[in-house]
Amino acid sequence: MVPPLRRSSRRAARLRYHHYADRAAGLRASEVRALFAVASRPEVVSLAGGMPFVAALPQELVINAMDSVMRQQGPVALQYGSGQGVPVLREQILEVMALEGIRAHADDVVVTTGSQHALELVSKLFLDPGDVVLSEGPSYVTAMVIFKSYQAEVDHVPMDEHGLIPEALRQHIVRLKAAGKTIKFLYTIPNFHNPAGVTLSWERRVEILEIARQNDILVLEDNPYGLLYFDQPAPDAMRSLEQEGVVYLGTFSKTLAPGFRVGWALAPHAIREKLVLANEAAVLSPSSFSQLVISEYLATADWKGQINTFRGVYHERKNALLGALEEYLPELTWTNPNGGFYVWVTLPGGLDSKAMLPRAVKELVAYTPGTAFFADGDGRQNMRLSFCYPTPGNIRIGVRRLATVIRDELDLLETFAGTGSLDPLRESARFGSPPPETA
């Protein structure tokens, strides 16, 4: 017999479920987040999560900044603040963005609780049920979770080693308009893309902005990794070319530390006013303490030198990953990023990265299956490998374990299906299956 209290709890749970808003159906656990619990086990080499290597940040830099803030501005740091963000930090953010060619005014900067919060606020302001968001295919997994939570459709535009393909963008816009769809914005990660690792060329930035202008489509430029280049900087930001048609998202999570949860949006004036109101409605104000600590750090530390240190760390780890792939899995294909955290790998035909993941975890290595980065379930023959967090030695161990898993899978294919080919997929399919109009 079920105790009455338990029956009551179950009934309450059913009632709560039936009272969810329709948009709650779009809130689903991402495959990336689900991996964190497994990947955090010390025996597992995680090539999955994009966690910055914060140990490369000298603790005394942060401790000194915190101490200074509490001693000199303690009552302000612990109090509510402005919904737009601390003025001095907004001025300093202009200095950060200037490194990528952006000239702006501090009044148009809105500080948020990480750049993902800014992405959520923009989506809240613009997306109605049934609207369409254009994005690269593949694209950032949690961005798609946000778009779907507002009941929007995600339409993936193909990309290649030079980033999003402008002609494919034109074709998608024509098709969507012909179907009577409303396109609200283009979401893009132009620098050291997550998950593909590629960088949008300068020529394509110019062309894509022109396409957006012609079709009255807002561009949402998400740039977490832009300063973490290796051999040479990425082209200047798209926002450097277009002020009114671009909302630019930045963050300190990758160039300082994600624990502060401080990002920002640079928006045209009219959008900025709405962003401030949406920010206040969501969190009242971003953390004054975190903002003031970052401001003190930027004012007193060699933050550019520290970013350069991060570049060296990540460059070494990327080289370790690519070297291990060449040694243990030369039959695969992959991207070669000039910055950021990620390499996008294409598996031999017939393998399924999502189905293979439990076997990989059993071999004590984790990755993110390509399906996590497509709204339509594509990407089964791809995986994202992150080189940002493991040491070079552990990266080699992880790839060696991964090679064992892949070769076992290929042996099974040959045994049960007679398809043991190791020929990589053709180049045009490296980023997912092309749509019918570009196939």
Residue whose pair of structure tokens reads 């007679």 in the numeric block: 418
HSE of 224, CA atoms in CB hemisphere, 13 A: 26
Q: What is the pLDDT of residue 437?
A: 38
pLDDT value for 37: 64
**Residues β-bridged to residue 318:** none
Provide CB contacts within 8 A for 304, sequence distance 6+.
none
pLDDT at 436: 36
pLDDT tens, residue by residue, 13-33: 555 556 777 777 666 665 555
Query: If we measure between CA atoms, which residue out of 121, 178, 125, 185 comes closest to residue 153?
Result: 185
* pLDDT at residue 42, as a whole number: 82
What pLDDT, on a 0 to 100 scale, did the predictor assign at position 3? 54
pLDDT at 414: 82
Q: pLDDT tens digits, residue range 381-430? A: 999 999 999 999 999 999 999 999 999 999 888 887 654 444 443 344 56
Residue 416 to residues 211, 316, 439, Cα–Cα distance (Å):
49, 40, 30
The answer to whether the pTM exceeds 0.95 is no
pLDDT of residue 7: 52
What are the residue ranges in the chain where pLDDT is below 50? 5, 419-428, 434-439
Measuring CA to CA, which residue among 261, 267, 305 is closest to residue 107? 267
pLDDT attached to residue 377: 87
